[in-house]
A = this chain, B = another copy of it.
Amino acid sequence: MARGKWEMVLGGNMQQHAAVGIARPVIQRLNALGITASADLDAFWKLVKVRDGVDRGKTIVGRAGLAKHFAVLLEGVACLSTQDKEGGRQIYALHYPGDFLGLHSSVLPSVEPSEVQALTSCSIGTIDRDALEQAIQRHPALGRALWRAALTEVSIFRQRLLVSRRPALQRVAHLLCEQRVRLGTDDGVIPLTQIDIADAAGLSVVHINRIFQELRELGVLAKQRLIEVVNQERLQELAAFDAGYLDQSGSLFQWDLRIED
Protein backbone atom coordinates (compact mmCIF):
# COMPACT_ATOMS: atom_id res chain seq x y z
CA MET A 1 0.00 0.00 0.00
CA ALA A 2 2.61 2.51 -1.01
CA ARG A 3 2.58 3.90 -4.51
CA GLY A 4 2.20 7.51 -3.47
CA LYS A 5 -0.62 9.29 -1.73
CA TRP A 6 -2.40 10.71 -4.76
CA GLU A 7 -2.14 8.87 -7.98
CA MET A 8 -4.39 10.64 -10.42
CA VAL A 9 -5.46 8.41 -13.24
CA LEU A 10 -7.61 10.50 -15.49
CA GLY A 11 -8.71 8.60 -18.50
CA GLY A 12 -6.28 5.79 -17.76
CA ASN A 13 -6.51 2.52 -19.55
CA MET A 14 -8.33 -0.27 -17.83
CA GLN A 15 -5.96 -3.03 -18.81
CA GLN A 16 -3.09 -1.11 -17.35
CA HIS A 17 -4.77 -1.09 -14.01
CA ALA A 18 -5.74 -4.68 -14.28
CA ALA A 19 -2.05 -5.33 -14.65
CA VAL A 20 -1.40 -3.37 -11.50
CA GLY A 21 -4.06 -5.59 -9.96
CA ILE A 22 -6.00 -2.78 -8.47
CA ALA A 23 -8.75 -2.71 -11.03
CA ARG A 24 -9.51 -6.38 -11.21
CA PRO A 25 -12.05 -6.54 -8.39
CA VAL A 26 -13.91 -3.61 -9.84
CA ILE A 27 -14.02 -5.12 -13.28
CA GLN A 28 -15.23 -8.40 -11.89
CA ARG A 29 -17.93 -6.59 -10.02
CA LEU A 30 -19.03 -4.61 -13.04
CA ASN A 31 -19.21 -7.81 -15.01
CA ALA A 32 -21.36 -9.35 -12.33
CA LEU A 33 -23.59 -6.31 -12.49
CA GLY A 34 -24.13 -6.80 -16.19
CA ILE A 35 -21.52 -4.55 -17.68
CA THR A 36 -19.64 -6.61 -20.20
CA ALA A 37 -19.14 -4.36 -23.20
CA SER A 38 -15.64 -3.02 -23.05
CA ALA A 39 -16.90 0.35 -24.25
CA ASP A 40 -18.98 0.59 -21.08
CA LEU A 41 -16.14 -0.63 -18.91
CA ASP A 42 -13.79 1.90 -20.39
CA ALA A 43 -16.31 4.67 -20.02
CA PHE A 44 -16.64 3.83 -16.37
CA TRP A 45 -12.98 3.50 -15.75
CA LYS A 46 -12.25 6.84 -17.32
CA LEU A 47 -14.22 8.44 -14.52
CA VAL A 48 -12.17 6.95 -11.74
CA LYS A 49 -9.39 8.74 -9.94
CA VAL A 50 -7.39 6.35 -7.82
CA ARG A 51 -6.41 7.27 -4.33
CA ASP A 52 -4.25 5.14 -2.09
CA GLY A 53 -3.56 5.13 1.57
CA VAL A 54 -6.81 5.82 3.33
CA ASP A 55 -5.94 4.78 6.86
CA ARG A 56 -7.90 2.55 9.13
CA GLY A 57 -10.57 4.42 11.03
CA LYS A 58 -10.84 7.30 8.59
CA THR A 59 -14.15 8.38 7.19
CA ILE A 60 -14.38 7.78 3.48
CA VAL A 61 -17.87 9.02 2.77
CA GLY A 62 -19.52 11.36 5.22
CA ARG A 63 -23.15 12.24 5.44
CA ALA A 64 -23.42 15.98 4.94
CA GLY A 65 -24.86 17.34 1.72
CA LEU A 66 -23.09 18.93 -1.24
CA ALA A 67 -21.72 15.81 -2.72
CA LYS A 68 -19.61 16.09 -5.78
CA HIS A 69 -18.05 12.68 -5.56
CA PHE A 70 -18.80 9.08 -5.16
CA ALA A 71 -16.38 6.19 -4.63
CA VAL A 72 -15.41 2.65 -5.44
CA LEU A 73 -13.42 0.50 -3.08
CA LEU A 74 -10.27 -0.87 -4.70
CA GLU A 75 -8.33 -2.42 -1.84
CA GLY A 76 -9.04 -3.02 1.82
CA VAL A 77 -12.21 -3.30 3.87
CA ALA A 78 -14.69 -0.59 4.76
CA CYS A 79 -18.04 -0.47 6.46
CA LEU A 80 -21.26 1.49 6.39
CA SER A 81 -22.01 2.40 9.96
CA THR A 82 -23.78 4.75 12.31
CA GLN A 83 -23.32 5.77 15.92
CA ASP A 84 -26.14 5.58 18.39
CA LYS A 85 -26.05 8.22 21.07
CA GLU A 86 -24.42 5.94 23.62
CA GLY A 87 -21.44 5.78 21.32
CA GLY A 88 -22.20 2.28 20.13
CA ARG A 89 -21.40 1.61 16.53
CA GLN A 90 -23.88 -0.22 14.37
CA ILE A 91 -22.42 -1.66 11.18
CA TYR A 92 -25.04 -1.92 8.48
CA ALA A 93 -22.89 -3.45 5.81
CA LEU A 94 -19.31 -4.37 5.10
CA HIS A 95 -17.60 -3.35 1.90
CA TYR A 96 -14.93 -5.16 -0.05
CA PRO A 97 -12.95 -4.36 -3.19
CA GLY A 98 -15.32 -3.72 -6.05
CA ASP A 99 -18.07 -2.31 -3.87
CA PHE A 100 -19.50 1.11 -4.43
CA LEU A 101 -19.19 3.36 -1.43
CA GLY A 102 -21.84 5.91 -0.65
CA LEU A 103 -24.70 4.32 -2.53
CA HIS A 104 -26.49 4.60 0.78
CA SER A 105 -26.46 8.37 0.69
CA SER A 106 -27.55 8.54 -2.90
CA VAL A 107 -30.28 6.04 -2.36
CA LEU A 108 -31.39 7.02 1.11
CA PRO A 109 -30.53 10.64 1.67
CA SER A 110 -32.73 11.48 4.60
CA VAL A 111 -31.90 8.66 6.92
CA GLU A 112 -30.16 8.30 10.23
CA PRO A 113 -26.71 9.80 9.78
CA SER A 114 -24.41 7.09 8.57
CA GLU A 115 -21.01 7.04 7.02
CA VAL A 116 -18.50 4.81 5.33
CA GLN A 117 -15.42 4.12 7.38
CA ALA A 118 -12.19 2.32 6.54
CA LEU A 119 -11.65 -0.82 8.62
CA THR A 120 -8.21 -1.43 7.17
CA SER A 121 -5.99 0.70 5.01
CA CYS A 122 -7.89 1.21 1.80
CA SER A 123 -7.41 2.31 -1.74
CA ILE A 124 -10.43 3.93 -3.26
CA GLY A 125 -11.39 5.35 -6.61
CA THR A 126 -13.30 8.58 -6.61
CA ILE A 127 -15.82 9.41 -9.27
CA ASP A 128 -17.11 12.82 -10.11
CA ARG A 129 -20.84 12.90 -9.81
CA ASP A 130 -21.53 15.11 -12.79
CA ALA A 131 -19.21 13.11 -14.98
CA LEU A 132 -20.96 9.94 -13.85
CA GLU A 133 -24.35 11.32 -14.74
CA GLN A 134 -23.15 12.22 -18.17
CA ALA A 135 -21.59 8.83 -18.66
CA ILE A 136 -24.85 7.21 -17.66
CA GLN A 137 -26.62 9.13 -20.39
CA ARG A 138 -24.30 7.66 -22.96
CA HIS A 139 -23.98 4.24 -21.33
CA PRO A 140 -27.29 3.23 -19.78
CA ALA A 141 -25.76 -0.05 -18.70
CA LEU A 142 -23.83 1.89 -16.10
CA GLY A 143 -27.03 3.23 -14.62
CA ARG A 144 -28.50 -0.22 -14.45
CA ALA A 145 -25.39 -1.55 -12.79
CA LEU A 146 -25.60 1.07 -10.07
CA TRP A 147 -29.26 0.32 -9.61
CA ARG A 148 -28.51 -3.34 -9.15
CA ALA A 149 -25.73 -2.59 -6.73
CA ALA A 150 -28.14 -0.50 -4.69
CA LEU A 151 -30.70 -3.29 -4.75
CA THR A 152 -28.18 -5.74 -3.44
CA GLU A 153 -27.42 -3.43 -0.57
CA VAL A 154 -31.10 -3.17 0.20
CA SER A 155 -31.47 -6.89 -0.01
CA ILE A 156 -28.71 -7.31 2.53
CA PHE A 157 -30.49 -4.99 4.94
CA ARG A 158 -33.61 -6.99 4.69
CA GLN A 159 -31.91 -10.28 5.15
CA ARG A 160 -30.22 -8.91 8.23
CA LEU A 161 -33.58 -7.96 9.60
CA LEU A 162 -34.71 -11.55 9.35
CA VAL A 163 -31.50 -12.94 10.78
CA SER A 164 -31.54 -10.51 13.68
CA ARG A 165 -34.28 -12.58 15.32
CA ARG A 166 -32.28 -15.76 15.34
CA PRO A 167 -30.01 -16.78 18.20
CA ALA A 168 -26.48 -15.48 18.28
CA LEU A 169 -24.68 -18.49 16.92
CA GLN A 170 -26.76 -18.58 13.78
CA ARG A 171 -26.57 -14.85 13.44
CA VAL A 172 -22.80 -14.89 13.55
CA ALA A 173 -22.61 -17.89 11.27
CA HIS A 174 -24.81 -16.12 8.78
CA LEU A 175 -22.72 -13.01 8.90
CA LEU A 176 -19.57 -15.03 8.31
CA CYS A 177 -21.16 -16.83 5.39
CA GLU A 178 -22.11 -13.56 3.82
CA GLN A 179 -18.61 -12.22 4.19
CA ARG A 180 -17.14 -15.33 2.61
CA VAL A 181 -19.36 -14.97 -0.42
CA ARG A 182 -18.84 -11.25 -0.75
CA LEU A 183 -15.09 -11.56 -0.39
CA GLY A 184 -14.92 -14.17 -3.08
CA THR A 185 -11.54 -15.39 -1.91
CA ASP A 186 -10.40 -18.98 -1.67
CA ASP A 187 -8.71 -19.03 1.66
CA GLY A 188 -11.27 -18.85 4.45
CA VAL A 189 -9.75 -15.77 6.02
CA ILE A 190 -12.07 -12.96 6.98
CA PRO A 191 -10.11 -9.77 7.52
CA LEU A 192 -12.12 -8.40 10.43
CA THR A 193 -11.76 -8.18 14.19
CA GLN A 194 -14.17 -9.67 16.70
CA ILE A 195 -15.12 -6.12 17.52
CA ASP A 196 -16.19 -5.51 13.95
CA ILE A 197 -18.21 -8.68 13.95
CA ALA A 198 -19.85 -7.68 17.21
CA ASP A 199 -20.88 -4.29 15.85
CA ALA A 200 -22.17 -5.85 12.67
CA ALA A 201 -24.08 -8.63 14.41
CA GLY A 202 -25.43 -6.40 17.15
CA LEU A 203 -23.91 -8.50 19.93
CA SER A 204 -21.42 -7.73 22.67
CA VAL A 205 -17.78 -8.45 22.01
CA VAL A 206 -17.66 -10.82 24.94
CA HIS A 207 -20.47 -12.87 23.58
CA ILE A 208 -18.97 -12.90 20.11
CA ASN A 209 -15.84 -14.29 21.61
CA ARG A 210 -17.73 -17.15 23.22
CA ILE A 211 -19.61 -17.86 20.03
CA PHE A 212 -16.29 -18.03 18.23
CA GLN A 213 -15.07 -20.59 20.72
CA GLU A 214 -18.13 -22.66 19.99
CA LEU A 215 -17.54 -22.37 16.27
CA ARG A 216 -13.98 -23.47 16.78
CA GLU A 217 -15.11 -26.47 18.80
CA LEU A 218 -17.48 -27.31 15.98
CA GLY A 219 -14.55 -27.37 13.62
CA VAL A 220 -15.88 -24.46 11.62
CA LEU A 221 -13.28 -21.88 12.50
CA ALA A 222 -9.53 -22.33 12.79
CA LYS A 223 -8.07 -22.14 16.29
CA GLN A 224 -6.09 -18.98 15.90
CA ARG A 225 -6.48 -15.31 16.47
CA LEU A 226 -7.15 -14.78 12.80
CA ILE A 227 -10.73 -15.42 11.73
CA GLU A 228 -10.52 -18.30 9.29
CA VAL A 229 -13.34 -20.51 8.10
CA VAL A 230 -12.15 -24.06 7.65
CA ASN A 231 -15.50 -25.77 7.10
CA GLN A 232 -17.67 -23.67 4.88
CA GLU A 233 -20.35 -26.33 4.49
CA ARG A 234 -20.93 -26.84 8.16
CA LEU A 235 -21.04 -23.10 8.59
CA GLN A 236 -23.76 -22.74 5.99
CA GLU A 237 -25.80 -25.44 7.65
CA LEU A 238 -25.57 -23.71 10.99
CA ALA A 239 -26.54 -20.41 9.42
CA ALA A 240 -29.28 -21.81 7.20
CA PHE A 241 -27.57 -19.66 4.65
CA ASP A 242 -28.85 -19.20 1.12
CA ALA A 243 -26.83 -16.82 -0.97
CA GLY A 244 -29.76 -15.93 -3.20
CA TYR A 245 -30.31 -12.56 -1.65
CA LEU A 246 -26.85 -11.44 -2.68
CA ASP A 247 -27.69 -11.72 -6.34
CA GLN A 248 -30.15 -9.18 -7.64
CA SER A 249 -29.38 -9.74 -11.27
CA GLY A 250 -32.94 -10.82 -11.95
CA SER A 251 -34.56 -7.64 -10.80
CA LEU A 252 -37.82 -7.02 -12.60
CA PHE A 253 -37.76 -3.30 -12.83
CA GLN A 254 -34.72 -2.55 -14.86
CA TRP A 255 -35.26 1.11 -14.70
CA ASP A 256 -32.60 3.31 -15.98
CA LEU A 257 -31.17 5.17 -13.11
CA ARG A 258 -32.87 8.51 -13.10
CA ILE A 259 -31.33 11.56 -11.70
CA GLU A 260 -33.37 14.50 -10.58
CA ASP A 261 -32.36 17.88 -9.48
Q: Can you give 14 A-B contacts (C-beta < 8 A)? A: A58-B260, A59-B260, A65-B250, A65-B256, A67-B254, A92-B158, A106-B254, A107-B151, A111-B158, A129-B253, A147-B255, A157-B158, A161-B164, A252-B258
Report the minimal beta-carbon distance from A30 to chain B, rounded to whole angstroms.
Answer: 17
Candidates B66, B82, B253; contact of A162 at CB < 8 Å: B82
Please state if A256 and B102 are interface contacts (CB–CB under 8 Å). Answer: yes
Given A108-B154, A108-B155: A252 touches B259 (CB 8 Å cut-off): yes
* Most chain B C-beta atoms within 10 Å of own C-beta, residue among A71, A164, A240: A164
User: A65: nearest residue on chain B (CB-CB)?
Assistant: B254
Contacts of A151-169 to chain B: CB distance below 8 A: 151, 154-155, 157-162, 164-165
Task: Give Cα A148 to B242, complex, Å.
Answer: 29
Report the minimal beta-carbon distance from A52 to chain B, rounded to whole angstroms.
Answer: 11
A179 on the B face (CB < 8 A): no
A261 on the B face (CB < 8 A): yes
A70 on the B face (CB < 8 A): yes
Task: Give Cα A40 to B260, complex, Å.
Answer: 17
Given A164-B164, A251-B107: A257 touches B68 (CB 8 Å cut-off): yes
Contacts of A135-181 to chain B: CB distance below 8 A: 140, 143-144, 147, 151, 154-155, 157-162, 164-165
Query: Which residues on the B side are within 8 Å of A259 (C-beta)?
Result: 51, 54, 58-60, 252-253
Given A111-B155, A158-B112, A161-B161: A261 touches B257 (CB 8 Å cut-off): no
Please state if A61 and B154 are interface contacts (CB–CB under 8 Å). Answer: no
Candidates B154, B202, B242; contact of A154 at CB < 8 Å: B154
Please state if B260 and A159 are interface contacts (CB–CB under 8 Å). Answer: no
Give the size category of A's interface with B. Answer: 35 or more
A12 on the B face (CB < 8 A): no
Query: Which residues on the B side are within 8 Å of A164 (C-beta)?
Result: 161, 164, 202
Given A161-B157, A164-B202: A106 touches B252 (CB 8 Å cut-off): yes
